[in-house]
Amino acid sequence: MKKRVSNKKDKGSALTGAIKDLETEIRKLGKEKSALKQELNEVSSSIEVDHDREKELQRKMAQLIEKEAKLNDKRKHLQMKIDDVSDKITKISKIKLEMSDIN
């Protein structure tokens, strides 16, 4: 009968050891889970910051494109004025040449 009692004690201590091992593993997994959640939160925050930065850069690009278009229009307008002045200078030079021929 002693064997039965010792078998029960052996089974009980084995179960107790297994339960302690499981509890240790559960605590370890809980810590890992917490660490992974923290890392996920950091990555999510980083993604949000990057997304906000992307929006800001897209807004700046749109402003620069608009500014570029205005400058191109201004350049075309100034080129037209330069062409008009060049035409006037050519006409004046022609008239001056004709007048010098008359004299």
Taking CA atoms, 2 is separated from 10, 44, 86, in Å, by 12, 62, 122
pLDDT for 43-70, tens place per residue?
A: 999 999 999 999 999 999 999 999 999 9
- The 8-class DSSP code of residue 103 comes to -
Q: In the structure, what pLDDT confidence band is assigned to residue 39 with cuts at 50, 70 and 90? A: very high
- From CA 103, how far away is CA 101, in angstroms rounded? 5
Question: Rounded to two decimals, what is the model's pTM?
Answer: 0.57
What pLDDT, on the 0 to 100 scale, is given for residue 15?
A: 87
% of the chain exceeding 70 in pLDDT: 88
- The whole-angstrom distance between residue 72's C-alpha and the CA centroid of its chain comes to 29
**Residue recorded with tokens 């906000």:** 52
